[in-house]
Structures are given as structure tokens and as C-alpha cells.
Structure 1
Amino acid sequence: MKKESIVLIVTIIATMTLTAWVGNDNTSKVPGNLTEVQIGGQTWMAENLNVESFRNGDPIPEVKSAEEWEKVGKRKKPAWCYYDYTSANGTKYGKLYNWYAVNDPRGLAPDGWHIPDSLEWTQLSNFLGGLKGSCTKLKSTSGWKENGNGTNESGFNGQPAGYSPYNGNCSESGETTRMWMSKEHSKSNAWFCQLEGNKSDVFYYQYYKVQGLSVRCVKD
């Protein structure tokens, strides 16, 4: 995978006051029983997306095996799965969607929300001090392996959901989370934001659209 280099002009603030955007005081429920959090001038979902249908009500096909996931990817059809195809993982991690679900014109994000682009992810990271170092503030305080837990100072509550690659063999639960962006990179690849358990920085990558990744939405 090729890491995207991003040049940022970051205002350095000597002391950051976190009470304006931290914790339960700034969270509320999104329709569909999801939690939202206000971070700076943005409102984000504080949980991974967990919907089974598009905005117009059409169902998104669920995939229940690695073999089926690979077949769906070859057909370039929208789909979702649970990590390891186990519904109990949906409680912790939400659902994993391929790019074809994310980019479907029927709309994956609930009404009033959208899939963030790189500029919106960068705005979020900049508010927390920049791409370098903000990962720790975005990660949840538990569930990450090898001392990878974050502080969740932001209230974003990033969970180590792992992902489903092109062959459907889910991996990296407890180690990483990959969250789709709204822009494609090429006919086969699209951009996503990655948080890693053993890193304090936020990374942007592009990789196959047939992956199953988490989704976080930002309010319109």
C-alpha cells in the first residue's frame, strides 16, 4: 500500500482545553440508535455504521462467508459483513462495507449524514493537534492489543474493528481500524483512514475497493 503524503499547516496551541469536546457531555443519539459526538466544528458518529439498508430502504446484501465475499467483490456488487462473519462482532465493531456499498447512489449514510472525504478527516485531526499524534486521542480506551489503547480524549471512540480483505479472510481485529473515505483513487482502489494500535499517528491509504471496512459518517 502507498501512504499518502499530506502537507499540513498546523497552528500550534500551547495548551489545549479539552472540555469543549470531550466525553459524554457532548454526545447524543443519532437516528438508528447510534451515538454522535461534536469535535470542533464537526459532528461525527461516535460508533461505526451498522445499517443493513440504503437510505431509500433497499437492503444491502449480507455476506456470510469468505468465499462469498470474494465472489461479491469480483462482481463489484455492494455488500456488508460482520468481522469473521459472526454477528456478535457487530455489537462491538458495527458492520464492514465494501466500497461499492459506500459509493452506491442510493446512499449508505443515513439522512443528514455523509461519508467524509480526506479534507474532513484532516480537519478532525488538525483540531486534535494534527495527523501526527491525534490517533491516540481518537482511539478507544480498551480493546486494542499490545498496549495500543488510546485516551479517547476526543470522544470519537475508534474501535479496532479490523477488516475483510479481497479474499474475505478477516484480519487485524484488535490491531487496526480502516474507515472509508468518499473518494476513489482509481478504478480498483479507494481511499481510507487508518488508526493503528501501535502508532500515535493517523494514516491515509488507498487499496482495493473490494475490502470490507468500517464507516464513520459526519453530519451535513
Structure 2
Amino acid sequence: MKNLFVLLVFVMLVACSDDESDLISRPDTKEISSSVLSSSIESSCSANSSSSVTPKSSSSQGDGGSHSSSSGQAPAAMTSSSVKSSSSLSEGYVDPSTVIEGTLIDSRDGQSYKTVKIGNQWWMAENLNYAFVGVPYSDGDYTSDSTSWCYNDSAEYCDKYGRLYTWAAAMDSAGLWSTNGMGCGYGKICFQKYPVRGICPEGWHLPDTTEFRTLFNDVGGSSSAGDMLKSVSGWNDDGNGSDSYSFAALPAGVYGEGSFKSEGISMAFWSSNNRLTEQTFTAYLNNANTSAALLILRPNFGFSVRCLKD
């Protein structure tokens, strides 16, 4: 049985308000939450770098999309073929054969990341693995000396999945790299300015919801972006994707309250947008869906980061 709600129950998805507005970094950014609610979640509602880009044409084929729903239901699994007819492709669809691959070097620690240009956007094609540690973290009774972690506290998982960051760490709330996300964190009113570099290498930034929506549309539309963006291996229960755009999204799971959950099942990428003080937008994929979604999740948990070139 596919564990569609494991991550979501664990993070206690917060979507109790009827107000769909988010505290935004750009005037044209507005997202309706995709509130994936089970009864248990509903009950919880009461409660510095250089980049060297070497063009390389990709021959991978396919299409895709995103899903965002205000219905209160999980993104429905696709039952039709993942290859869409030309009439059903989203506006702005990018042919996978036009994808360009490159490399980013983070001068802070010398790490190298694959990158990919999809349409007009240059994305990291691997999760960020910058070791943002030594910053005290607390969530109720739980305390830690870090705001980013390797899954299972094991370096091999950082090599595989990158690190898992709190939203405050992803946004660089301390203002170490820039001031556009300074002061943003769990339980704080945030006045971020676009673009938010956050924890990303110099010349790159944390995507906002508009930029994630552009990505989803570029790969074909709301219903199949998960398939187009997910890696071809690593996802449980035959939940692998086609990775038609060399984005290689991996099921890195989540960290929270001293536990690691959902490796192989799901992943979430932080955006730079929040709604209220305890609701933050993430791009979410899981093994049970070929779709992708923008969800509102709690900012005090650890999720993955994919940076976008300025």
C-alpha cells in the first residue's frame, strides 16, 4: 500500500484558514493552497559562488505538469498516458529536447552541482548540500544545535539527497548572505523581498511560488509534472518518474521533532513564500502521484532546497 499521507500527517499540515492569500515577495505571486487533509490532519488544525555553465543538449523526451488544488483532497493519481496530446499541453510547454545541462560550483565549500535550463529558467538539478550548522534550533520541548540535517544523521544521505533545512535556514533568517529573507522563520511575521538568496550560492536564489508554477507549466501542465520531474529510480512502490527534463527530484523525506520520515515516499522543496507565521509554501512530490503540488506546510520542519539562477 502506498503511504500517501505519511509525510503530511507527520508535519501536521496547517491549512485551517479560509484566507488564501500568502505573504508574498512579488506582486504577481498568489497561490491557492493544495490542502491535503486526512481526518487526523484536520484535527491537528485545532491544535559566495561562481557558476560555470557548460551547455549540453539533452535528448530525453517527455512532458509534464503541476497540480494545485483547493479541494481538500490529495492530488489525484494520473490514469491516462504520461504522453499528452499537443492540445492538452500547458501554455508555455518546453520541449524536453531543448533542455541544456550545466554545472554550478559553490565557492563557499567547493561543491559542484548539476544544473538544467528548462525554458528560461536555470535550476539546480541536485538538492543543495551546504552544511548550515551550528545555529541553535528549538521547537517546543525539542532542541538541536543545527537547522539542517542529513537524513538519519548520516553523511551518506547528504551525498545522496542533500541536506534538509528549516525554512528559517533556507531563507537565511540570520542575514549571513543577503538581507532579502532576513528575519523570516517559524512564528515570525516575514517581509521578504524578491529575490531571496537565502542559503543558495551567490547568483542563485530560493524560488518563489510563481517560479515553481512556471516550472510546472514548462514541463507540460499540472497533472503530470511529478512524473516529468521525478528521478527514474529511488521512489518506492513503482513511484519513479520519467525525469524527462533531467531535474532528478529525489524522495529525500523530511526531518522534524527529532525524527526522519518518508524517505522513498515523498519530498518537498522550500519556496520563499509564506502565509501567516506558521504556514509556508512548498513544492511537493510523492510516490503515489504523477502530479506535483504547491502545499502549505509548517516552516519548522526540515525539507530540501533547489536553487534557481538569478
Say yes or no: TM over 0.5.
yes
Q: Report the alpha carbon displacement of residue 12 of structure 1 after superposing the two structures with TM.
A: 4.0
CA deviations on 1:164-197 (whole Å, 9 max, x unpaired) are 12x1211000000111000122212211110111
- Would you say the 8 A contact 2:94–2:119 is kept in 1? no
Cross-structure match for 1:44 = 123
Q: Equivalent of 2:280, from 190, 199, 214?
A: 190
Q: State TM-score, norm by structure 1.
A: 0.82
- Write out per-residue CA displacement over residues 74-130 of structure 1, whole angstroms, 9 at most, x where no aligned residue: xxx971001111111011100000011112222311000000011000000001111
Q: For 1:27, give the aligned amino acid.
A: E
**Contact 1:78/1:100 (CA < 8 Å) preserved in 2?**
no
- The CA deviation at 1:148 is 0.3
In 2, are the aligned partners of 1:176 and 1:197 still within 8 Å (CA)? yes
- Check 1:173–1:209 CA distance in 2 against 1; reply closer, same or farther (3 A cut): same
The one-letter amino acid of 2:241's match is G
Secondary structure (helix, strand or coil) at the match of 1:183 reads: strand
**Contact 2:89–2:221 at 8 Å: present in 1 too?**
no
Distance 1:178 1:16, change over 3 A: closer
Q: Are 1:130 and 2:198 an aligned pair?
A: no
- 2:72 matches 1:4: no
- Check if 1:70 corresponds to 2:139: no
Distance 2:304 2:95 in 1: 30
Alignment of 1:96-135 (within 5 A): 96-103=164-171, 104=173, 105-106=175-176, 107-135=198-226
SS at match of 2:255: coil
CA distance in 1, matches of 2:268, 2:168: 16
Aligned residue for 2:182?
none
- Mapped to 1, the partners of 2:262 and 2:209 lie a distance apart of 23
RMSD between aligned residues: 2.7
**Matched position secondary structure for 2:142:** helix
> What amino acid maps onto 1:213 in structure 2?
F
Instruction: State the one-letter code of the partner of 2:101.
Output: T
Confirm or deny that 1:80 pairs with 2:148: yes
Q: Which residue matches 1:56?
A: none
Structure 1 residues 62, 145: CA separation in 2 closer, same or farther (over 3 Å shift)? Answer: farther
Paired residue secondary structure (2:284): strand
| Matched AA of 1:20 | T
- Post-superposition Cα deviations, 1:9-51, rounded to whole Å, max 9, x if no partner, equal xx84499742111xxxx22210130111011110000000011
Bigger radius of gyration: 2
C-alpha change, 1:168 and 1:186, in structure 2 (3 Å) is farther
By how many angstroms is 1:62 displaced? 7.4
1:57 alignment partner in structure 2: none
Mapping for residues 5-44 of structure 1, pairs under 5 Å: 5=34, 6=68, 12-13=88-89, 17-21=95-99, 26-31=100-105, 32-44=111-123
Q: Kindly provide the CA deviation profile for residues 49-90 of structure 1, in whole angstroms up to 9, marking residues without a partner as x.
A: 01125xxxxxx3279xx99x9314xxxx97100111111101
Q: Secondary structure at the match of 1:71?
A: strand
Q: Which runs of 5+ in 2 are unaligned?
A: 1-12, 16-31, 35-67, 70-86, 106-110, 177-197
Could you say which residue in structure 1 is the equivalent of 2:237? 146
- CA shift in 2, pair 1:35/1:16, >3 Å: closer
CA distance in 2 between counterparts of 1:187 and 1:125 reads 26
SS in 1 for 2:98: coil
What is the match of residue 207 of structure 1? Answer: 297
| Aligned amino acid, residue 30 of structure 1 | L
State the one-letter code of the partner of 1:38: K
**TM superposition score normalised by structure 2:** 0.59
